[in-house]
Amino acid sequence: MQTEIWMELSPLTASVSRRHLRTLLQERAVPLDRAGEIERAVNEGIGSIIQHAPVPPDQGVWLRVECFPERICLRVEDQGQGFLHAAVLSPDEEQTRDRGLGLIEQLADVVAFSTVKNGGSCLEAEFSLSSSRPGVAG
């Protein structure tokens, strides 16, 4: 199952995306703790786009969610200026605050960052739903 949502960037973008995502994860019976981690990762991904990759007013952000029996795959993509992953992950800012891309890397099982054609940023993250993932009692 795949869902795609396009949203104009505004102060409400992150909360609107979380609401859509929450509904989808509830329909798929994703455990509440894992659903919360996935929602937080989307929130941080969109926040990083807003903060580090200025997007023109007539553009927005794509959120794609793919649901599989054992995993959830996310893709957050913008059409802004893009940003360098290494520059965003400065230890004195994001990692010590447990926010942004550093937090996404902690929550997800697989994370990839890239620049999309014609500029923009793309974050892809995969979240295992298996109880055998690290840190989960099974």
- Confidence tier at 83 by pLDDT (50, 70, 90): low
**At 42, is the secondary structure helix, strand, or coil?**
helix
Identify the architecture of domain 2-128 in CATH.
Answer: 2-Layer Sandwich (3.30)
Of the candidates 84, 107, 111, which has an alpha carbon nearest to the alpha carbon of residue 37? 107
Q: Where are the domains of the chain?
A: 2-128
% of the chain exceeding 90 in pLDDT = 30
**pTM, full prediction:** 0.79
* Per-residue pLDDT tens digits for 20-32: 889 999 999 999 9
79: left (phi over 0), alpha (psi -120 to 50) or beta: alpha
